Chains A and B, each alone.
Chain A
Amino acid sequence: MKEKNKKITVSGTCAGCPIGIIAKTVLESIDNPIVVANATGCMEVTTTIYPNTSWKVPYIHSVFANAGATISGVETAYKALLKKNKIKEKKPVKFVAFGGDGGTYDIGLQSLSGALEREHDFLYVCYDNGAYMNTGNQRSGATPWGASTETTPIGKESIGKDVKRKDLMSIVAGHHIKYCATANVAFLDDFKRKVKKAFLTKGPSFILVFSPCPNQWKFVSHKTIEVGKLATKTNFWPLYEIIDGEYKINFIPKSKVKIEEFLKIQGRFSHIFKRKDKDKLIKDIQNKVNQDWERVRDLEETRVRV
């Protein structure tokens, strides 16, 4: 794409951070004019330090908890102004909200839920890096079991986070929206296809995209894609869509990779490998991953509408 047609140029993130790729992939998947609302977080602080901005499309950030409500307001204003012939733009306008896992699973969940229920015509993209990374790695509702963070540190009595992460996809699917999907920045074609599909969906749609964080997951910055690929190949992060309530798995690993392979290249899990009971712990984690995967697979196979 030519420089002048670019919709975003991200340069302020940490080395190896895929947030810029995620934003760019979403914005450049369609030709329509697009408006962005963003929750406070890594994406927001790295792209909008005044007087600079990475965004070459209309962009609004307000606070942490309200990306869903903010885009609701923008989209409703568009409808109102269109009715009164006050919109100059001829092409249909698309609306997208970005939030991290903190801004989506946790503090912004109510705002997202309201926006989905009201059937605003927008896409919500949650980039999930599994903790509050902008504030320096504190656990969120998305942090996986066993991960060490600054607020779930390892210690004599602790193996890191000792509760499982929220199943956000089921929560979103419970709103019975037409389209929601998981994606992974390491599977870019799949992500692009899903963004296009989401934008063509009338009403709300949702994509949960896996966003490895080299700094806080503690792996070398050129391994972002490798970590991402392993997440999906181990079934830790299955790729699937929920279309009108029906599950559709988009990727089944040819040869099953053990969860150990995903865990061992990240420093946030390294304590597990130093423990006497490491075999049991890894087995427990593997069982959890298997259970989650089987649930998704069963939902697809039985074609039960959720």
Chain B
Amino acid sequence: MLNKNKKVALTGGFAVGEAINQINPDVMAVYPITPQTPIVEYFSKKVVDGKADTEIIQVESEHSAMSACIGASAAGARTMTASASQGIMYMMEVLPVASAMRLPIVMAVANRAISGPINIHCDHSDAMAMRDTGWIQIFSENAQEAYDNTLIVMKLAEKVLLPATVNLDGFILSHSVENLEILADGKIYDFIGEYQASQQLLDFKNPKTFGPVALPDSYFEFRKQIYDAMEKVRDEFNKVTKDFGKISGREYQKIETYKIDEAETVIVAIGSTCGTIKSVVDKMRAQGKRVGLLKIRLFRPFPYIEVKKVLEKIKRVVVMDRNLAFGTQQILAGEIQKSLEREVESVVYGLGGRDIYEKDIERIFLGKEIGDKGQFFLM
């Protein structure tokens, strides 16, 4: 029992495991996959030590992990799981069922490249593959954010009745030790509250059929409800993060800007690379270069209006995607272009865990090695 806030040194994976421990969900589905495994290992240890009284289901696959989560959440349990990469691809079939049933399941994703070829290191291909399945998606820059985001989306998911993922870069965050502050248990309890499902499968007085066949006369309406719920996240996110600010002193926005005042060039990025970019911005600003960063924290729903407001007057925008789309523009670049209604420069970097250094980011800021079509592959 943690009575007051505490500074700790944890890996990002353990930080998420600690957040799950403090949430103390009713049910957690557990299946190993690198680099997510430390999350479920950390949490499982907490359960066997009696620190959480969660029922753990040790499933035999990710497809079953998400299927069991759907069953548990429909039955009225606060339900969580964690996965990555092939795990996300394997459970892909059931991800849209979770959102269609309006189940506030929270899943941590330690972002990893997808096969093939097989690669266990970081990129955002897994998260991007599930971006249109009706899940709220939030990204983390560091262990503190991974911890905070887990708490934030738990509350957010239950408010709007949509499932949510907390994304943290595989290995870079999941396996690196950082200092962070964890909150007192009581604060978390007050923040997320006791869970009471609005529609419960285990209501025997009013038995309900979950997951019926919807023909052309009703299917469209069901899908529209998911759309509407996702739109609701735009306002609810602000309320939830405001409440979170009160208990933590850390108030988050959907996006974060870094030194964009009078910037001529702004890089848009997601995840841990934002920390590296901030360091480059500091150095280049000291040299009088007018550069800045826009970090996207909330990816689904995508904060178009907020992005537009920030980038509208910026002369040069470069978007860094840590995933590769084929036969179309890059995913984050496309979202930024949509926000601005004008072309932006697009860079693909860091696939399969390829390191990105400050010198690389500096080159991007300076516009070096940008190819004919504005596409930049970091070699």
Q: Chain A 78-121 against B: per-residue CB contact (8 Å), 1 yes, 0 no?
A: 11110110111100010000000000000000110110011000
CB distance B203 to A72 under 8 Å?
Answer: no
Any chain B CB within 8 A of the CB of A304? no
Query: A78: which of B65, B68, B75, B207 is its contact (CB, 8 Å)?
Result: B75
Q: Which of A63-71, A149-157, A163-171, A203-211 contacts B (4 or more CB under 8 A)?
A: A63-71
Quick check: is A59 within 8 A (CB to CB) of the other chain?
Answer: yes
**CB of A243 within 8 Å of the partner chain:** no
> Residue B198 at the A interface, CB < 8 A?
no
Verify B94–A63 contact, CB threshold 8 A.
yes
Determine whether the beta carbon of B203 is less than 8 Å from that of A77: no
User: Counting CB contacts under 8 A, is B204 at the interface?
Assistant: yes
- Which residues does chain A contribute within 8 Å of B70, judged by CB atoms? 60, 62, 70, 73
Contact A78 B214 (CB under 8 A): no
Cβ contact within 8 Å between A114 and B64: yes
Q: Are A62 and B71 in contact (CB under 8 A)?
A: yes
A33 in contact (CB, < 8 A): yes
Taking A72-B71, A111-B67 as contacts, is the C-beta distance between A50 and B218 under 8 angstroms? yes
B60 contacts A by Cβ under 8 Å = yes
Could you tell me if B64 and A110 are in contact, using CB atoms closer than 8 angstroms? Answer: yes
In the complex, which of the residues B58, B64, B79, B203 contacts A68, with contact meaning CB atoms closer than 8 Å?
A: B64
| Complex Cα gap A33–B208 (Å) | 13
Question: A63 to chain B: which residues have CB within 8 Å?
Answer: 67, 93-94, 97
Asked if B210 is an interface residue, CB under 8 A from chain A, the answer is yes
Q: Determine whether A158 belongs to the interface, using a CB cutoff of 8 Å to chain B.
A: no
Known contacts being A73-B72, A74-B201, is A66 close to B64, with CB within 8 Å? yes
C-alpha spacing A118/B79, complex, angstroms: 18
Q: Is the CB of A69 within 8 A of B75?
A: no
Q: What is the chain A residue whose CB lies nearest that of B213?
A: A49
Give the distance in Å from the alpha carbon of A52 to the alpha carbon of B111 in the complex. Answer: 41
Asked if residues A72 and B209 are in contact (CB atoms below 8 Å), the reply is: no
CB pair A87–B214 under 8 Å, yes or no, is no
Instruction: Choose from B59, B64, B74, B214 the contact partner of A60 (Cβ within 8 Å).
Output: B74
B202–A81 CB distance below 8 A: yes
* Nearest-Cβ distance from residue A115 to partner chain B, whole angstroms: 8
Shortest distance from the beta carbon of A166 to any chain B beta carbon, whole Å = 19
Interface size class of A (residues with CB under 8 A): 35 or more
Within 8 A of B (CB), among A129-147: none
Instruction: Determine whether A221 belongs to the interface, using a CB cutoff of 8 Å to chain B.
Output: no
From A49, A69, A113, B68 is in contact (CB under 8 Å) with A69
A114 x B60 contact (CB < 8 A): yes
Closest chain A residue, CB of each to CB of B101: A62
Most chain B CB within 10 A, of A33, A48, A60, A83, is at A60
**In chain B, what residue has the closest Cβ to A73?**
B71
Q: Is B29 an interface residue (CB 8 A)?
A: yes
**Which residue on chain B has the smallest CB distance to residue A33?**
B204
State the CA gap A114–B62 with chains docked (Å). Answer: 12
Q: What string of 1s and 0s marks CB contacts (under 8 Å) between B206-224 and chain A?
A: 0111111111001000000
- A93 contacts across to B, CB distance below 8 A: 202, 204
A58, B201: Cβ atoms under 8 Å?
A: yes
B54 at interface, CB cutoff 8 A: yes
Q: Do B209 and A69 touch across chains, with their CB atoms under 8 A apart? A: no
Q: How far is the CA of A48 from the CA of B215 in the complex (A)?
A: 11
B57/A72 in contact, CB under 8 A:
yes
Cα–Cα, bound, A83→B53 (Å): 9
Contact of B60 among A57, A60, A83, A110 (CB under 8 A): A110
CA distance A120 to B349 in the complex (A): 45
Q: Is the CB of A77 within 8 A of B212?
A: no
Give chain B residues whose Cβ lies under 8 Å from the Cβ of A53: 209, 212
Note all chain B residues with C-beta closer than 8 A to A222: none
- B77 an interface residue at 8 Å Cβ cutoff? yes
A74-B72, A81-B202 as given contacts; A58 in contact with B58, CB under 8 Å? no
| A71 near B71: Cβ-Cβ < 8 Å | yes
Residues of B within 8 A of A305 (CB): none
Interface residues of B (CB under 8 A from A): 26-27, 29, 53-55, 57-61, 63-65, 67-77, 79, 93-94, 97, 101, 201-204, 207-215, 218
Interface residues of A (CB under 8 A from B): 33, 35, 37, 44-45, 48-51, 53, 55-63, 65-66, 68-81, 83-84, 86-89, 93, 110-111, 113-114, 117-118
**Known A62-B70, A68-B64, A80-B26; further 14 A-B contacts with Cβ < 8 A:** A44-B213, A45-B213, A58-B201, A59-B208, A60-B70, A62-B97, A70-B70, A73-B57, A77-B27, A77-B55, A81-B26, A111-B64, A117-B60, A118-B58
Question: Can you name 21 A-B pairs with beta carbons within 8 Å?
Answer: A35-B201, A48-B213, A49-B212, A50-B213, A50-B214, A55-B209, A58-B201, A58-B203, A59-B207, A59-B209, A61-B212, A69-B63, A72-B57, A73-B67, A73-B70, A74-B75, A76-B55, A76-B57, A77-B76, A81-B76, A111-B60
**Closest 9 A/B residue pairs (Cβ):** A73-B71, A114-B60, A77-B75, A66-B67, A69-B67, A73-B68, A69-B64, A77-B77, A73-B72
